[in-house]
Structures are given as structure tokens and as C-alpha cells.
């Protein structure tokens, strides 16, 4: 089973949690896009849902495939969000934002009664941090904000390169909201909760990619199939 097949397997398992009439938050990224494709097939067969996309990219795919969309202002309370992740630990803490949509992803997930994460088994880690942590910052005061982040990380014993994200043509990447992404390569984040709390206190930080106490379930796909992961590994079971 190759990487795409595993993503499709996870997306298909998540689709089983979608019920007729649901208000859905729809995530961003390659795994979430596989979910959108499968969801569109069910919509074509008669499933009634309303989706709130977490990015312009996701919105375009939904429109192309015929998935009905609303804005979060029109549907401020959602039943379920299904989204991918860049890393997942045993407590269902996540690093997200590799696609640059972390602010909208967190707003949508937090407006939902439940969040299900879909990923392949390579995303499961013992300690968050191997994937660079995206930190969304305001362009105004960029240098001052970066200095404040660096000082905080030093205080917490974290070190590593921090770079403003660029596109493949080397132009500066900007989010759908017009912000910058600072990618922080820590390697390991021993206390993700403390880092998340203290990043929130820096005025120039719009949002960060640590999703803590947001996901209620992860569906992890591997060569042997998909499994559900809750707060502890001993709660996993095959599906």
C-alpha cells in the first residue's frame, strides 16, 4: 500500500462518521483532499451535508466536485471537522499548518463538536517537533515578533532554525489571511502545552500549529489497514 492508498484508507474510515444532515468542517492538505473526493461521491449519491472549508484551496476543490459549502458565519457551530495533520502524539496533540492554513483550520475545528484527524502512520510520533512548527505571524513588526519568539524558545530550552516560509519560486508565502508563516525546526518539543500557551501571549503571533485538546479521534492508516487512536495507544482498535 503506497502513501496515497493509505490516505484514501484513512479518509474512507473517517467518512463512516459522517451522517446525513451534518454540518462539516473540511480540512486542508493531501489527506483531506482524498476525503473531499470520497465525500463528493456520497453527495452525488444523495448524502445531504453542508461544508465549511478551511482554505481557499479546499473551497475550490469542493466547488469543483459539487460539495455544498457555507461560510463559518453562516454555520458558526459545526457537528464534525475532518482534517489531516503533520504530526500526532499519543495524547492526540497535533502539529498542523504544513499547508499554511493553520489559522482557519483551528478556528473551524474549535467551532466543531468533534474533530477527527486522518493521517498515515508516518505522522504518529512519540514527541512532537520533528516536523517544523508553523507559527503564523502578522507582517507588521515581523522582526520584533521573531525576536520575541526566539527569546521564548531559549527560555524553554528549545533551539533550531526559524525561517519565514517561501514558495517554490522563492517569493514569500502568505496565508489566505495575508499573514506570514515562521517555520521553527526544534526537532523535539518536550512541553508542547507550555510552548502553545506562551506563544499565544506574544502579540505578533496570530496563531501557531500546535493543536492541543482539540482532536477527539485520529484515524491512522498503514499497510495493515486503518485504526482508531484515542488518547492512549492502548485504546486503539482495528476498523
So which residues are the catalytic ones? Answer: 105
DSSP 157-208: T----EEE-B-TTSPBP--TTS-EEEEE--S--TTHHHHHHHHTTSTTEEEE
CA distance 171 to 156: 31
Helix (H, G, I), strand (E, B) or coil at 136: strand
- C-alpha dihedral (99, 100, 105, 107), degrees to nearest 10: 180
Q: What is the DSSP letter of 2?
A: -
The answer to whether 49 and 43 have CB atoms below 8 angstroms apart is: yes
Q: Which residues contact 57 (CB under 8 A, 6 or more apart)?
A: 28, 99, 101
Residue 9 backbone phi and psi in degrees, to 5:
-60, -45
Q: Sort strands 78-83 and 23-26 into parallel, antiparallel or unpaired.
A: parallel
Amino acid at each position: 500500500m503506497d502513501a496515497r492508498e493509505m490516505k484514501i484508507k484513512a479518509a474512507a474510515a473517517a467518512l463512516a462518521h459522517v451522517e446525513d444532515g451534518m454540518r462539516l468542517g473540511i480540512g486542508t492538505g493531501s489527506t483531506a483532499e482524498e476525503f473531499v473526493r470520497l465525500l463528493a461521491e456520497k453527495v452525488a449519491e444523495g448524502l445531504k451535508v453542508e461544508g465549511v472549508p478551511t482554505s481557499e484551496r479546499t473551497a475550490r476543490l469542493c466547488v469543483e466536485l459539487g460539495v455544498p459549502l457555507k461560510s463559518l458565519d453562516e454555520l458558526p457551530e459545526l457537528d464534525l471537522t475532518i482534517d489531516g495533520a503533520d504530526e500526532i502524539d499519543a495524547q492526540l496533540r497535533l502539529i498542523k499548518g504544513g499547508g499554511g492554513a493553520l489559522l482557519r483550520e483551528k478556528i473551524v475545528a474549535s467551532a466543531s463538536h468533534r474533530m477527527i484527524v486522518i493521517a498515515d502512520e508516518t505522522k504518529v510520533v512519540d514527541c512532537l517537533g520533528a516536523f517544523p512548527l508553523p507559527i503564523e505571524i502578522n507582517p507588521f513588526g515581523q522582526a520584533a515578533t521573531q525576536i520575541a519568539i526566539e527569546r521564548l524558545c531559549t527560555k524553554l530550552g528549545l533551539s533550531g532554525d526559524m525561517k519565514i516560509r517561501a514558495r517554490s519560486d522563492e517569493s514569500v508565502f502568505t496565508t489566505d489571511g495575508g499573514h506570514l508563516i515562521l517555520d521553527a525546526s526544534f526537532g523535539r518539543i518536550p512541553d508542547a502545552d507550555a510552548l502553545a500557551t506562551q506563544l499565544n501571549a506574544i502579540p505578533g503571533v496570530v496563531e501557531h500549529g500546535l493543536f492541543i485538546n482539540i482532536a477527539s479521534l485520529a484515524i491512522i492508516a498503514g499497510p495493515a489497514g486503518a485504526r482508531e487512536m484515542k488518547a492512549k495507544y492502548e485504546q486503539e482498535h482495528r476498523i
